[in-house]
């Protein structure tokens, strides 16, 4: 009976030892597997990710230009002589035909008086010869000569009257005088420039629109403009250049604005233009998250459901003070916001989702 009991005890001990050895091996294997998993995770790049949802926003073309008079002209002298009166000066507004400068007539008025007396004499001679010719007492040749003399006298009177009229230098159209350096006693000659004349009714804003955006601009298109003076005005596109500037690859666009929209308009004032276009789904993000791929295209990095980095080409919709709106993305994305400089497309990463999200509300 003792032998049998010892036998059983020995078998039990062997079984317990076997179980202990096997369980120890399994525990060691489990620990090794856990350590391997930890090593795999630690080998992945850590990034911070934010969930972003798109919203509808308007694409806006932004451009900077400057104001310009609607019409700019030169006031020139059409006669020669000494200036005897300066009636207007720089900054003065003049109406069309208003006298700006008077030039000394010298003896032109005396010449005109003499020419008119000669014209009267030639007319009487011609009328007398006409009467004699009707009576058959005068030949046609002599009548023709007297007619020629009469016409020449009329031409002389007209020429002198025109020269006297040109002694008064007038405004060719209504506007504001600029760059006038004429003084009393100055001498002017025919063709000499007296001043510049700026007509601001209406005036214009000159823009340079990029070749990528010019397709959106058309004649009569309404444009909202903000002047650096703080005034906001509205205008319409009245001219689009058909040829781009070769150095800037931009097109000249003129926007015409009514004068009564601005108090005392001036040329050369900086103007900012915001042109809203069609609405599109877009995400708002920091411009620091934008990358350039090998083809020079703008991209951002997101991650998919398997934590794989994905490069997405985007287009800028508009830029604001607190961020940039981009299109070309799905409605919901996982946007890498920290660590994008240490990963490449196709990399598996270890994301840390931030609790905040981008709702992209305007």
**pLDDT at residue 210 tops 80:** yes
CATH number, position 298: 2.40.420.20
Please state, in angstroms and rounded to a whole number, the distance separating the CA atoms of residues 280 and 216: 15
One domain, residues 136 and 82: no
Question: Could you tell me the residue range of the domain that residue 289 belongs to?
Answer: 45-57+280-358
- What pLDDT digit, counting tens, does each position of 263-319 carry? 778 889 999 998 888 888 999 999 999 998 888 899 999 999 999 999 999 988 888
Q: Identify whether 312 is part of a domain.
A: yes
One domain, residues 272 and 248: yes
In this structure, are residues 59 and 276 in contact, taking their beta carbons and an 8 Å threshold? Answer: yes
One domain, residues 96 and 185: yes
One domain, residues 37 and 137: no
One domain, residues 153 and 238: no
In the prediction, which pLDDT does 35 show? Answer: 45
In the prediction, which pLDDT does 262 show? Answer: 74
Q: Identify whether 73 is part of a domain.
A: no
CATH number, position 147: 1.10.287
CATH number, position 249: 2.40.30.170
**pLDDT at residue 26 tops 80:** no
CATH number, position 82: 2.40.50.100
Mean pLDDT, the chain, integer: 85
For the chain, how many structural domains are there in total?
Answer: 5
One domain, residues 241 and 321: no
One domain, residues 149 and 138: yes
Question: What is the average pLDDT across 240-263?
Answer: 88
In the prediction, which pLDDT does 359 show? Answer: 55
Rounded CA Rg of the chain: 45
One domain, residues 228 and 255: yes
- What pLDDT digit, counting tens, does each position of 310-324 carry? 999 998 888 888 899
Q: How far is CA 154 from CA 115, 122, 150, 161, 225, in A?
A: 8, 9, 6, 11, 57
Q: How far is CA 185 from CA 77, 146, 191, 298, 305, in A?
A: 15, 44, 18, 67, 88
Q: Identify whether 265 is part of a domain.
A: yes
One domain, residues 95 and 149: no
One domain, residues 323 and 352: yes
Question: In this prediction, what percent of the chain has a pLDDT beyond 90?
Answer: 51
One domain, residues 292 and 314: yes
Report CA torsion sign: 257, 95, 97, 103: negative
Question: What is the average pLDDT across 75-98?
Answer: 92
Three-class secondary structure assignment of the chain: CHHHHHHHHHHHHHHHHHHHHHHHHHHHHHHHHHHHHHHHHHCCEEEEEEEEECEEEEEEEEEEEEEEEEEEEEEECCCCEEEEEECCCCCCEECCCCEEEEECCCCHHHHHHHHHHHHHHHHHHHHHHHHHHHCCCCCHHHHHHHHHHHHHHHHHHHHHHHHHHCCEEECCCCEEEECCCCCCCCEECCCCEEEEEEEEEEEEEEEEEECCCHHHCCCCCEEEEEECCCCEEEEEEEEECCCCCCCCCEEEEEEEECHHHCCCCCCCCEEEEEEEEEEEEEEEECHHHCEECCCCCEEEEEECCCCEEEEEECEEEEEECCEEEEECCCCEEEEEEECHHHCCCCCEEEEEEEEEEECCCC
Q: Identify whether 231 is part of a domain.
A: yes
**pLDDT at residue 190 tops 80:** yes
Of 156, 191, 226, the position where a domain reaches its end is 191
Q: Identify whether 135 is part of a domain.
A: yes
Q: Identify whether 304 is part of a domain.
A: yes
One domain, residues 200 and 259: yes
- What pLDDT digit, counting tens, does each position of 106-165 carry? 888 888 899 899 999 989 988 888 888 787 777 788 888 888 988 999 999 999 899 999
Residue tagged 């934008």 (tokens): 290
């Amino acid at each position: 009976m003792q032998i049998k009991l010892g036998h059983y005890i020995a078998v039990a001990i062997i079984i317990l030892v076997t179980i202990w050895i096997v369980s120890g091996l399994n525990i060691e294997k489990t620990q090794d597997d856990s350590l391997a998993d930890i090593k795999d995770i630690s080998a992945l790049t850590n990034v911070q990710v934010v969930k972003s949802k798109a919203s509808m926003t308007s694409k806006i073309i932004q451009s900077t230009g400057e104001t310009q008079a609607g019409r700019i002209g030169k006031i020139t002298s059409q006669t020669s002589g000494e200036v005897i009166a300066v009636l207007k000066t720089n900054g003065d507004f003049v109406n069309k035909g208003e006298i700006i400068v008077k030039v000394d007539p010298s003896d032109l008025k005396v010449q005109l008086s003499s020419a008119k007396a000669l014209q009267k004499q030639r007319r009487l001679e011609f009328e007398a010869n006409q009467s004699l010719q009707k009576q058959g007492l005068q030949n046609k040749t002599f009548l023709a000569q007297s007619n020629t003399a009469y016409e020449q006298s009329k031409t002389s009177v007209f020429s002198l009257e025109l020269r006297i009229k040109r002694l008064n230098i007038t405004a060719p159209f209504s506007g504001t005088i600029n760059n006038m350096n004429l003084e009393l006693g100055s001498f002017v000659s025919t063709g000499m420039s007296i001043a510049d004349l700026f007509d601001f009714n209406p005036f214009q804003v000159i823009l340079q629109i990029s070749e990528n955006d010019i397709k959106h601009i058309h004649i009569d298109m309404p444009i909202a403009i903000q002047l650096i003076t703080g005034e906001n005005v509205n205008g319409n596109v009245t001219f689009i250049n058909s040829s781009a500037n070769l150095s800037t690859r931009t097109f000249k666009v003129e926007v015409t604005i009514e004068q009564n929209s601005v108090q005392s308009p001036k040329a050369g004032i900086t103007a900012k233009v915001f042109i809203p276009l069609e609405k599109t789904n877009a995400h708002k993000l920091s411009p620091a998250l934008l990358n350039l791929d090998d083809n020079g295209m703008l991209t951002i990095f997101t991650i998919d459901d398997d934590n794989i980095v994905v490069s997405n080409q985007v287009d800028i919709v508009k830029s604001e003070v607190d961020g940039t709106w981009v299109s070309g993305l799905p409605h919901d994305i996982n946007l890498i916001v920290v660590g994008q400089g240490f990963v490449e497309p196709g990399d598996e990463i270890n994301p840390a989702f931030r609790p905040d999200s981008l709702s992209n509300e305007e």
